[in-house]
Amino acid sequence: MSERQDAEDSPGQDEAPDGATTAVTAPELAPGPAAAGERRGGPEGGEEGAVGKQEPGSGLRRPAAITLVLLGLAVLAVAAFSTPWQALTGGPPDPSRDFTAAQIAKARAFDAATSLPAYLSLALTVIVAGLLVATPFGAKVTGRLRGPWWLRVILGVLLITAITELIRWPLGVWYETILRDYGLSVQDWSGWAGDRLKSMGVQAFLLCVMLLALMALARKVRRWWIPAAAGAFALTVAASFVYPVVFEPIFNDFTPMRQGPLRTELLELARRDGVPVEDVLVADASRRTTALNAYVSGFGATRRIVVYDTLLRAPEREVALVVAHELGHAEHDDVLHGTLLGALGSALGVIALFLIFGPVRRRTGVTSITDPRATGALMGLITLGSLLLGPAQNLISRHVEARADAHALDLTRDPATFVAMQQRLALTNISDLSPDAVEYVLYASHPSAPERIALARAWAELNGVPRP
């Protein structure tokens, strides 16, 4: 799902069958900085909570700082050891070998058209988050709210979410108009607005849960960062687990794949691969997009492989290859690993918050982390934190995706169809065939299509199969 939900933030994004949905929202296709990713950074916090207005003393801060460093090293170690850095890579990508000059020109034109609204949206997101973190803007906006503290937090989240969305709305309309011009979006405006409001609602709901839990702890416990970090970890894991059954159905209907030769072939493929798969689900994506995609989400009892109904129009061998790629994610438990890494990152975010909330509190003019007027500052910090983590997530994701591609090739031994599939995906989704360095770092959750094709050729060479 969600590739469209923040589409305007992510120029490079539509690249392809995607991948494992990591943690909560993390749709495959580059979650836009502000929206989906937001809940990730974890609650943050201030200092004293129940205790008063002074900054936490060094006696309180030192254990938090030591834990921050140790946990940070642990996260780096887990990321370093669990990322398949050695996944197969191909030679230098060469778009002109597999795409015509006209196709390359069209991809460039689309990229140029979408880049402006995407970067403007990103800039607005950063500016608003910066204002919330470094000025009394958020405290002023939420200062007039009345009621018990928890109600003021909920209303504050809704109010600031609404203001942010209002500012970004015209850019979303602009982006959507471009998608329609290029035939990628087939939604009407009410469907588009409905999707956007729903995704805003999900985001606001998750933020409310985080902030209420954080503030409730900070009101009771002086060293709130300890239970809050544990809570952020647990909340991230729980949200990622229930995401496919609780949140995805808000956006799409899922039906088991129709009985027939394709379903039989896909389940046989999974059986041969040793990955227990009950069913392949089909999402009714065609009511909003012509793009092709597939993904794995959830883990354990909620794990599912989903293909867009748009993909089913492709030749069966290509669909099988896409599913083989998703089986690679399932076999390596990519969603679970991504979730655990995200959960550790959330815990880390909470501790960092404990340590840095002092200066934020002074600049924003709130009395403490438990002040409901701190809602805006906390939302800004979460947004900035998830923006900063995006490039690291993409770096890891690209290697995980390359491993899933290699898995699909091992399973099907059909690099020629792999190349045909990559061409179809790139052309249908109008993917960026040669993303520039900034786009690559900010948005590329997958290797580019020419890179994936080069990988298939390298695989063929290694395995003695004719190079496509």
Site string for Zn ion, 79-98 (x = CB under 5 A): --------------------
Residue whose CB is less far from Zn ion, 19 or 46: 19
Q: How far is the CB of 19 from Zn ion (least distance, A)?
A: 2
Distance CA 245, CA 240 (A): 10
- Tokens of residue 157, six digits: 């989240």
Residue whose CB is less far from Zn ion, 178 or 335: 335
- Tokens of residue 247, six digits: 């949140």
Residues near Zn ion (CB under 5 A), total? 4
Residue whose CB is less far from Zn ion, 164 or 422: 422
Residue 399 is labelled as binding a ligand: no
> Would you tell me how many other CB atoms lie within 10 Å of the CB of residue 98?
21
Q: How far is the CB of 328 from Zn ion (least distance, A)?
A: 7
Q: How far is the CB of 422 from Zn ion (least distance, A)?
A: 12
Residue whose CB is less far from Zn ion, 257 or 294: 294
Burial classification of residue 186, based on how many CB atoms lie within 10 Å of its CB (0-12 exposed, 13-18 middle, 19 or more buried): middle
Residue of the chain from 19, 37, 49, 231 that contacts Zn ion (CB under 5 A): 19
Residue 407 is labelled as binding a ligand: no
Site string for Zn ion, 380-409 (x = CB under 5 A): ---------------------x--x-----
- Which span sits near Zn ion by CB under 5 A: 11-19, 185-193, 251-259, 448-456? 11-19
Q: How far is the CB of 452 from Zn ion (least distance, A)?
A: 10
Q: Is 208 in the site for Zn ion (CB under 5 A)?
A: no
Distance CA 369, CA 373 (A): 9
Q: Quick one: which of 70, 21, 128, 25 has its CA closest to 347?
A: 70
Q: How far is the CB of 446 from Zn ion (least distance, A)?
A: 7
Residue whose CB is less far from Zn ion, 29 or 155: 29
Q: How far is the CB of 294 from Zn ion (least distance, A)?
A: 8
Residue 278 is labelled as binding a ligand: no
Exactly one of 15, 248, 405, 451 is catalytic; which is it? 405
Exactly one of 326, 334, 439, 451 is catalytic; which is it? 326
Q: Is 210 in the site for Zn ion (CB under 5 A)?
A: no
176 is catalytic: no
Distance CA 136, CA 123 (A): 20
Residue whose CB is less far from Zn ion, 6 or 401: 401
| Cα-Cα-Cα-Cα dihedral sign, residues 450, 452, 458, 460 | negative
The C-alpha angle 399, 203, 24, rounded to 5 degrees, equals: 35
- Tokens of residue 13, six digits: 């994004």
> Would you tell me how many other CB atoms lie within 10 Å of the CB of residue 127?
11
Residue whose CB is less far from Zn ion, 335 or 379: 335
Q: Cβ contacts of residue 438 below 8 Å, gap of 6+?
A: none
Distance of CA 113 to CAs 176, 179, 248, 345, 432, Å? Answer: 11, 10, 29, 34, 12
**First-to-last CA distance in the chain?**
32
- 451 close to 82: Cβ distance less than 8 angstroms: no
Distance of CA 146 to CAs 163, 372, 435, Å? Answer: 19, 10, 49
Closest residue to Zn ion: CB criterion: 19
Q: How far is the CB of 460 from Zn ion (least distance, A)?
A: 20
Residues 103-142 that bind Zn ion (CB under 5 A): none
Amino acid at 177: T
Burial classification of residue 286, based on how many CB atoms lie within 10 Å of its CB (0-12 exposed, 13-18 middle, 19 or more buried): middle
Q: Quick one: which of 342, 349, 330, 440 has its CA closest to 79?
A: 342
- Which span sits near Zn ion by CB under 5 A: 14-22, 55-63, 201-209, 248-256? 14-22
Q: Summarize the annotated binding site for Zn(2+) as residue ranges.
A: 325, 329, 401
Q: Summarize the annotated binding site as residue ranges.
A: 325, 329, 401
Enzyme catalytic residues: 326, 405
User: Could you list the residues that contact Zn ion (CB under 5 A)?
Assistant: 18-19, 401, 404
